[in-house]
Amino acid sequence: MDGIQHRLLDGIENLQEMLGPLQTYVTPTSALVGLGAGLTVYWLVKRNKYKLPPGPTPIPLIGNLKLLGARDFQEQCMELSKKYGPVITIYFSTRPIVIVNTIEAATDVLIRSKADFANRPKIPSALLFSDGGKDIAMAQYTPTWKLHRKIAGSALRTYLKGRKLEEAIHGSLTQMMELFDEKKGEAFAPHTHVDLAMINIIYALCFNKVYKFDDPKFKSFMDIQNDLLASFGSGFIEDIFPILLKIWPTKRLTGVLELANKLYQVLVDELVEHKQTFDEGNIRDFTDALIQARMEAENEEDTELLSQLTDVHLKQTLSDIFFAGLDTSRFTLQWFLLYMAAYPEIQKKAQKEIDNAVGQNRLPGLDDRPSMPYTEAVLHEIMRVATVAPMGFPHSARIDSKLCGFDIPERTTIMINQWALHNDPRHWKDPSKFDPERYLDSDGNLGPKPVSWLPFSAGRRVCLGESVAKAELHLICAILLQQFDISIPPGETADFTPDVCGIAGYTAGPYKIVVKRRT
């Protein structure tokens, strides 16, 4: 009996710690009642017919929330896999989440199982931000989703037939390089410059508009986006207790929704303008290509299915391309500048390759990419050592399934620990070492994709913008290395401590660099 009482008292302390703003309203009596109910559910789950993968013991009602909120969540999961195996189960409240920590198990989830794990979990807060799951990233695997993704993919292919991606990158980086020149060799933090360059590129691609970096509207948009990301943290209490959405939503969630709506309104205004000025003979940007792809689908596809693809769906598609493309690219580029400054010998080798392939009389272009495999290898290695989305997007089981000999009940959430895949010593020699040579063959050419390299996921839910992101980042990196020498300020050392970790992302912490024009 003493053991049970001790566990209940520990549970009260953990409950009050996890609930944050709500802890003022949790009394010992209510906590005991909640814990009693949680214990009942917990034991029912343990005794049901399913044999879930093993994992750390959850706190009744709360689950493994402390682990989920840890800054080094992905690293802890990798350590737990050494004890419990390649797939482990942790609990978000009373709901199990299966974490996949090896490429072999990830391949089973993403490819060999076909569509068995192709759904997304129905997270209350995510449904709010996606207009009830009308986006592509978090929508369920349905005929509507397939058509929605097909239309978006068609729009991307149509748009990329021209030179607009290259033009957008050249135009934005020209402004960025001018700002670098203004530093006159003084140390500075490049984060804002990277953010503004990347948002200008994505804005040009989506809406055929380019802003000056000192435009107040432009800066305001980026400030809102950064505030939005900072406010997300590790999730919302409403995802544990959905009833709060109806009776008592927290100020944090309502504040984040207000920020998101400001950004969505920009997309809506652009979509309305593009529909009013649409000219089939002049596809100006991705938004025009998206409108055109939908019009073409209307002549070929099931009209009932297309009726479900409203302007809200198109807005959400724009949101997927815009914000996912913006954040992953800018975070990767922030890491790129830091690693190039910290590894001058690797920087010089890439610069020599770029000089041989392009010279100094013009900026690199998309057609030069095959001639710069080492630069591509540098980018691939940065995507590995600085995995900006360590847990990727969560999956959900569409049916009762099996994984590594364990039961995965329908609607169970599955997360791929991409950080663990990118640091698995079975597949990477000295995984902590920054080594672009890993990706090259004996002749110095880019070799086959490494088995355990998965920054864009795979299978039916593979990143829609993978081909665009790879080409975009490669060209940006090549231009910056062609034009500048990048270094750590004198007397300082590179600090690779990330600023945000865990489920929320993996971004470079504050750092400064020195950039000087190459002569």
Q: Residue 41 pLDDT > 60, yes or no?
A: no
Residue 111 has pLDDT above 60, yes or no: yes
Residue 132, phi-psi category: left (phi > 0), alpha (psi -120 to 50), beta (remainder): left
Residue 24: pLDDT above 60? Answer: no
Between the ranges 134-138, 189-193, 208-212, 486-490, where is the mean pLDDT highest?
486-490
Q: Write the CB contacts of 245 (distance below 8 Å, at least 6 apart in sequence).
A: 124, 128, 238, 253
Question: What is the mean pLDDT of the segment spanning 148-165?
Answer: 81
Give the pLDDT of residue 20: 44
Percent with pLDDT over 90 in the chain? 53
Angle between helices 143-159 and 286-298 (to 10 degrees): 130
Please give the structure tokens belonging to residue 513.
């660099």
Q: Does residue 414 contact residue 397 with C-beta atoms inside 8 Å?
A: yes
Say whether pLDDT at 297 is over 60: yes
Q: What's the confidence (pLDDT) of residue 38?
A: 55
Can you give the pLDDT at residue 47?
A: 43
Q: State the burial class of residue 4 (Cβ atoms within 10 Å of its Cβ: 0-12, 13-18, 19+).
A: exposed
- Classified as helix, coil or strand, 224 is helix
pLDDT, position 217: 81
Contacts for 359 with CB less than 8 Å, ≥ 6 apart: none
Residue 233: pLDDT band with limits 50, 70, 90: low
Instruction: Tell me which of 125-139, 391-405, 468-482 is least confident.
Output: 125-139
CA–CA dist 455, 77 (Å, integer): 18
pLDDT at 154: 84
Mean pLDDT throughout 45-71? 82
Q: 95-100 and 413-416 as β-strands: parallel, antiparallel, unpaired?
A: parallel
pLDDT score for 28? 46
What span, in angstroms and rounded, lies between the C-alpha atoms of 22 and 411? 28
Q: State yes or no: pLDDT of 250 exceeds 90.
A: no
**Do the strands 498-500 and 507-508 form a parallel or antiparallel pair, or are they unpaired?**
antiparallel
Length of the chain: 519
- Tell me the range of 51-55, 93-97, 243-247 where mean pLDDT is highest: 51-55
Question: Is the model's pLDDT at 435 over the cut of 80?
Answer: yes
- Region 173-187: what's the mean pLDDT? 94
Mean pLDDT of the 85-96 span:
93
**Structure-block tokens of residue 232:** 């997300």
| Residue 26 buriedness (CB in 10 A; 0-12 / 13-18 / 19+) | middle
Report whether pLDDT(504) > 80: no
In terms of Cβ atoms closer than 10 Å to its own Cβ (0-12, 13-18, 19+), residue 197 is: buried
Q: Which two tokens stand for residue 266?
A: 């920009």
- Segments making up each domain of the chain, as ranges: 1-126+397-421
Residue 470: pLDDT above 80?
A: yes
- pLDDT tens track for 210-225: 888 888 888 888 888 8
Residue 12, pLDDT score: 39
Is the confidence at residue 8, as pLDDT, over 80? no
Mean pLDDT of the chain: 86
Q: Does residue 110 register a pLDDT over 60?
A: yes
User: In the chain, what percentage of residues exceed pLDDT 70?
Assistant: 88
Pairing of strands 498-500, 484-487: unpaired
Ramachandran sector of residue 54 (left: φ over 0; alpha: ψ -120 to 50; beta: rest): beta
* Mean local confidence (pLDDT), 98-105: 98
Is the distance from CB of 237 to CB of 244 less than 8 angstroms? yes
Containing 402, the helix (H) or strand (E) segment is strand 401-403
pLDDT band at 501 (very low <50, low <70, confident <90, very high): low
Q: For residue 511, what are the CA distances in angstroms to 361, 490, 499? A: 31, 13, 10
Q: Residue 473: pLDDT above 90?
A: yes
Rounded to whole angstroms, the Cα distance separating 401 from 319 reads 32
pLDDT in tens, 265-286: 989 999 999 999 999 999 888 9
pTM over 0.85: yes
- Section 90-98 average pLDDT: 91
- Which of helix, strand or coil describes residue 4? helix
pLDDT at 419 over 80: yes
Q: Which pLDDT does position 34 carry in this prediction?
A: 56
Residue 162 pLDDT level (bands cut at 50, 70, 90): low
